[in-house]
Structure 1
Amino acid sequence: MLKLNRIHHIAIICSDYEQSKRFYTEILGFTVLQEVYREERRSYKLDLEVNGLYQIELFSFPGPPPRPSRPEALGLRHLAFEVNNLEEAIFHLNEYRVITEPIRTDETTGKRFTFFNDPDGLPLELYEV
């Protein structure tokens, strides 16, 4: 049987590198591990750490094709981040003019959550524990 240890990283392609870099570092507060410009691909690769646990790779490529990104679109549904206090997290995002959906409650777990989008419309979720 295949033994997978954990998720190693999540890769995101953005349309405006500087805007997305600012969003993920200044607004979401991820730590930059490494930033590389790959001349042959005319592409940046930014490695971001999420609270010492996971890594997000943020890529820029010239002219990436659009992709449906609503949570109900086929493929990856969304990326969820755990938070301790949903209201505080929403307040922080709203201070940066990031629009969040109304708070919902998970019917199975009773936990509260909300969705918002990154600069390219990628659906992101805050899930309160």
Structure 2
Amino acid sequence: MEDNDDNIYVVKHRLTRAGFTVLIATDGEQGVAMAAAERPDLVLMDLSLPVLDGWEAVRRIKAAPQSRHIPVIALTAHAMPGDREKAMAAGCDDFETKPVDLKRLLEKMRALIPASSAP
């Protein structure tokens, strides 16, 4: 889930080239609904989203029976001391800062996605 058009383009393009199918939600409320309906293998969550922030979106995804199993990686510009711990406490399974280091992000994604689903 991401609300910045430039970031959406870059990350979607790179992940598509790496063999992933990418769905986009531009606010937290839409992301929670998509996680429940689409049941993706993984969610990349921007923590600063409109309508419903990423912190609360993660909490809702992890609280819902149909989506609690979905791994979530916080993908955010929040890089202050304690932000990683706060993201993990909200329910994230990992944390990555922007600008994105694609190699490191792909490693984290592949570690969390079931081998049968990962490209």
Structure 2-normalised TM-score? 0.31
Structure exhibiting the larger radius of gyration computed from Cα positions: 1
More helix by share: 2
Structure 1-normalised TM-score? 0.30
